[in-house]
Amino acid sequence: MVEGWDYEEFKRRFYQKMGLELDRYKDKQMERRIRQLMQREGKATFNELMQYILEDEKFKEKFMNYLTINTSEFFRDGKVFASLQGEILPRLLHSFQSLFIWSAGCSIGAESYSIAILLDQLRALHRARIVATDIDEKALSIARKGVYQEKLLDNTGPHLINKYFTKNKEGLAISEKLRKAVDFRSHNLFVDPVPGRCHLILCRNVFIYFKADTQAFLLEKFSSNLEQGGFLVIGSAEYISNPGRYRLKKLYPTIYEKL
Ligand SMILES: C[S@@+](CC[C@H](N)C(=O)[O-])C[C@H]1O[C@@H](n2cnc3c(N)ncnc32)[C@H](O)[C@@H]1O
């Protein structure tokens, strides 16, 4: 009989087979989520769960999708987008001829398209390159398709919905112009290189799930790839306790400028 693995052993095996370091995520939260899924799927041990992941491609996808909590919506945290539209993007457009914007942990693309909408409103979409990345392939395929349920647009003004979306049988489809403006890529924040020198990085509601040392590692990675005068935007439940350490200055609770 196989000895039952504990969570530590599961994390090790998962990394060997799947290449994702679960150890970088906060343990309590992650273990609880995984155990909940095991219960739902009728898997009594971590060994059984691992076997199921390896044998069933569909379940593997479901598991990865479940692990990486991908809730998102358009213009999530209205205040942040108001600052981006009213101050941050105009400042960047004034200082730089063209912008490289990275939406890191973009999930289904709502955040990335929200930025594209703001840039279009500022008549500057042609001056920006938007790269949006996530580890979750399923979320990325939704993002690339760009069709959303109406409830994800609750924070989006009706004039913007009319201008940028068309209703079809599946939901609201984003305009071709915006769909083409965002380059969605598969990317693991722990190991993959930053996609370019950035003027604006949005990494919101992503590192809240990571352990402190991984958060610090990522903040350093973000900062060293941000142009001076560029900005990092984090989620409203996230906090950088010592921004100076990363050559960042807090401008608003979720917006930091690179010094
Ligand atoms: C809650 S969503 C945030 C979506 C969006 N940024 C927002 O605030 O609306 C968190 C995203 O982080 C992604 N994520 C988690 N771990 C990751 C990793 N190691 N590398 C890249 N993305 C990761 C998840 O797949 C998920 O789509």
Indicate whether 2 pLDDT > 70: no
Strand ordering across the sheet containing 226-234:
182-186, 128-134, 99-104, 198-203, 226-234, 255-258, 248-252
Residues 62 and 82 in one domain: no
pLDDT in tens, 183-231: 999 999 999 999 999 999 999 999 899 999 999 999 999 999 999 999 9
Atom number of ligand 1 nearest to Cα 203: 6
Q: In angstroms, what is the span from residue 25 Cα to ligand 1's centroid?
A: 12
Strands 99-104 and 128-134: parallel
List, chain by chain if needed, residues with CB within 6 Å of any ligand 1 atom: 68-72, 76, 105-107, 110-111, 134-136, 139, 187-190, 204-206, 235
Quick one: 169 exposed, middle or buried, by C-beta within 10 A (0-12, 13-18, 19+)? Answer: exposed
Residues 40 and 164 in one domain: no
Q: Is residue 19 classed exposed, middle or buried when 0-12, 13-18 and 19+ CB atoms within 10 A define those classes?
A: exposed
| 33 and 125 assigned to the same domain | no
**Ligand 1: nearest atom to the Cα of 188:** 20
User: Which CATH number goes with the domain that contains 203?
Assistant: 3.40.50.150
Q: How many domains does the chain have?
A: 2
Pairing state of beta strands 147-148 and 198-203?
unpaired
List phi, psi (to 5°) of 186: -75, 135
Q: What pLDDT is recorded for position 24?
A: 94
CA distances from 81 to 24, 57, 62 (A): 29, 38, 31
Q: Which residue has the tokens 């109406």?
A: 150
Mutate to test the pocket of ligand 1, among 102, 134, 187 (most ligand atoms within 8 A of CB): 134
Query: Do residues 120 and 16 both lie within one domain?
Result: no
Query: Which of 18, 23, 26, 68 to mutate for ligand 1's pocket (most ligand atoms within 8 Å of CB)?
Result: 68
Q: Tokens at residue 172, please? A: 């609201």
Round to whole Å and give the CA distance between 43 and 129.
44
Question: Residue 3's pLDDT is what?
Answer: 58
Q: For the purposes of burial, counting CB atoms within 10 Å of the CB of 22, is it exposed (0-12), middle (13-18) or buried (19 or more)?
A: middle
Biggest alpha carbon distance in the chain? 67
Domain that holds residue 214: 78-258
Helix (H) or strand (E) holding 242: none
Residue 159 placed within a domain: yes
Q: 147 and 57 share a domain?
A: no
Q: What is the pLDDT of residues 36-86, one digit of tens each?
A: 999 999 999 999 999 999 999 999 988 988 888 888 999 999 999 999 999
Same domain, 113 and 207: yes
Say what the pLDDT of residue 61 is.
87
Q: Is residue 252 part of a domain?
A: yes
Site to substitute for ligand 1 among 70, 188, 202, 206, most atoms within 8 A of C-beta: 206
The C-alpha angle with vertex 97 and arms to 194 and 105, in degrees rounded to 5, equals 30
Tokens 């790839």 -> residue: 225
In a domain, 46, yes or no: yes
**Residue 132 and residue 100 share a domain:** yes
Residue of minimum CA distance from atom 27 in ligand 1: 107
More confident residue, 54 or 1: 54
Classify residue 73: in a domain, yes or no.
Answer: no
Same domain, 82 and 129: yes
Are 121 and 142 in the same domain?
Answer: yes
Same domain? For 196 and 89 the reply is yes
Q: Does the residue 72 lie in any domain?
A: no
**Separation of alpha carbons 39 and 60, rounded Å:** 16
- Tell me, yes or no, whether 204 and 106 share the same domain: yes
For residue 186, give the 3-state DSSP assignment.
strand
Please check whether residue 1 lies inside any domain of the structure. no
The residue out of 67, 89, 105 marking a domain boundary is 67
CA of 144 to the centre of ligand 1 (A): 16
